[in-house]
Amino acid sequence: MRATPEEYFRTSIFVPFVDDLRASLIERFVTHQTTLASLQTIMPRNIINSNFDSINPVLQFYRNDLNDTNEAILEGEWDLWKLKWKSYKNKNDIAKYAIDALNECDKNLRPNIYTY
């Protein structure tokens, strides 16, 4: 029994293409899920209840982009950023969006946080 041109196209080109596309999407997005989840802890509303160790995946991912990779300096910036947001009495004043948080981040005082 001979395959029709449509069946031939489906089995030899389309199915492998879709399979490769699926594998590429999984590699690109699912493998970075931990990094993305830990990046959320830098957000002002989340940092209040998180600790420095929670951003380890982000630190590893962005290591080459950071101004300083000294662990003590990174943790110091983290603590200053956390204290800034903990000091807000009214929770509604805490930045909800990344762009608002970035506008509140002093690039000179917290250069690594600004880089994230």
Longest dimension (CA), the chain: 77
> Tell me: the pLDDT tens digits for 48-81?
889 999 988 888 888 888 887 888 988 998 999 9
| 52 Cβ contact list (under 8 Å, min separation 6) | 74, 75, 78, 79
Over residues 26-54, the mean pLDDT reads 86
Find out whether 68 and 112 touch, Cβ atoms under 8 Å: yes
Find out whether 105 and 73 touch, Cβ atoms under 8 Å: no
> Tell me: the pLDDT tens digits for 70-113?
889 889 989 999 998 999 888 888 888 888 888 888 888 788 88
Terminal-residue alpha carbon distance, the chain? 59
